[in-house]
């Protein structure tokens, strides 16, 4: 007898050897059967309903195919990338560009129309000049009444004004700075991004509008002049305003009047006569929240009118004032009064007679 599952006549010719069923590898599991599109009725169903032997089954509800899922995922990634690049694009925002803006400086020498008036008594000169009612020293730089802005609190506005005032006092009233020596007291109040420009200005002074030491601070040539009175007269204003949601701006406009005399005149037994030197200074400061926290400022504009000076003298590194009894070799354009509130545009002007003391 043949083995189990083998035909009595044996394995047909050409069939697989060893009695293996050639369809044994095909497995009709439950999922395969359920996935079939055609379904055969049972004999009982065919008898009862006289239905055809088979019916078409409705398609199974399946989830997304792998290709569709990948496509949806790619669209989601592309959409997310577009949003991210819109928020964090690689180009600088205007605020970032403004922050990196270097200081712009302008120094306008004012030439006297005749001899510089002088007196042995500096107080007499002050009393007979437009500075007679000016305050002395830091008292002439009062803080205005401050109010919060849309994005900055009262304390933050006060911090900006206080830092601006400190800069003004140190850079224009400190005798150590005025005599051409100290600069560190001013430097520490600057934003760290401006320190390179500040250092280059003193290492390599230039009249390029960015690297003039006299744009950063007030200092006289120690070989030319010295203070005859350390009580500098000052008058001016401070104003704070919000530039945008992350920036405060402070504008300072002050006139300083210094009593000067020739360097070493008293020691050498020379003529110890004083004269007045008037300097009007407009500064524009910018503060972000880090500046407010660190008590630092970004100085972006410095506009200075000063005299009596000579247009022939370079006022980039030091101010070289004309002193009592001296006259300028060269004149300049139309007269400019540093006590006036209008803005001057000349690169060299004439010091109006009304700005000089009446002696």
Q: Per-10-residue mean pLDDT for the chain, 359 residues long?
A: 53 52 56 59 62 58 66 79 57 45 92 92 96 96 90 95 98 95 95 97 94 96 95 96 93 98 71 92 97 96 96 92 88 59 64 85
The model carries a pTM of 0.70
Structure tokens at 274: 């004083």
**Is residue 163 within 8 Å of 291, Cβ to Cβ?**
yes
Distances, alpha carbon 57 to alpha carbons 35, 64, 142, in Å? 9, 20, 91
Distance from C-alpha of 319 to C-alpha of 305, rounded to nearest angstrom: 11
Which pLDDT does position 67 carry in this prediction? 75
């Amino acid at each position: 007898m043949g083995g189990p599952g083998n035909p009595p006549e044996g394995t047909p010719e050409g069939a697989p050897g060893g009695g293996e069923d050639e369809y044994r590898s095909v497995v009709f599991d439950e999922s395969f059967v359920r996935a079939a599109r055609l379904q055969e009725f049972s004999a009982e169903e065919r008898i009862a309903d006289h239905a055809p032997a088979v019916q078409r089954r409705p398609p199974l509800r399946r989830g997304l195919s792998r290709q569709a899922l990948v496509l949806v995922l790619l669209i989601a990634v592309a959409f997310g990338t577009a949003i991210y690049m819109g928020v964090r694009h690689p180009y600088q925002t205007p605020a970032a560009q403004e922050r990196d803006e270097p200081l712009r400086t302008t120094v306008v020498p004012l030439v006297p129309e005749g001899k510089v008036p002088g007196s042995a008594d500096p107080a007499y000169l002050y009393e007979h000049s437009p500075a007679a009612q000016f305050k002395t020293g830091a008292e002439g730089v009062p803080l205005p009444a401050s109010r919060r802005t849309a994005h900055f609190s009262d304390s933050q506005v006060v911090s900006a004004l206080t830092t601006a005032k400190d800069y003004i006092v140190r850079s224009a009233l400190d005798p150590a700075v005025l005599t051409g020596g100290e600069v560190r007291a001013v430097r520490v109040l600057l934003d760290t991004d401006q320190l390179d420009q500040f250092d280059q200005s003193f290492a390599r002074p230039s009249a390029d509008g960015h690297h003039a030491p006299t744009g950063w601070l007030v200092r006289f040539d120690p070989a030319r002049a010295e203070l005859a009175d350390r009580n500098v007269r000052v008058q001016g204003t401070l104003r704070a305003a919000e530039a945008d949601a992350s920036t405060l701006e402070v504008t300072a406009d002050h006139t300083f009047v210094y009593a000067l005399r020739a360097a070493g005149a008293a020691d050498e037994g020379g003529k110890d006569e004083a004269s007045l030197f008037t300097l009007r200074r407009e500064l524009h400061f910018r503060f972000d929240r880090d500046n407010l926290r660190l008590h630092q400022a970004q100085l972006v504009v410095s506009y200075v009118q000063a005299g009596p000076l000579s247009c022939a003298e370079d006022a980039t590194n030091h101010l070289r004032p004309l002193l009592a009894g001296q006259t300028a070799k060269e004149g300049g354009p139309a007269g400019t009064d540093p006590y006036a509130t209008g803005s001057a545009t000349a690169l060299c002007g004439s010091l109006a007679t009304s700005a000089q003391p009446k002696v």
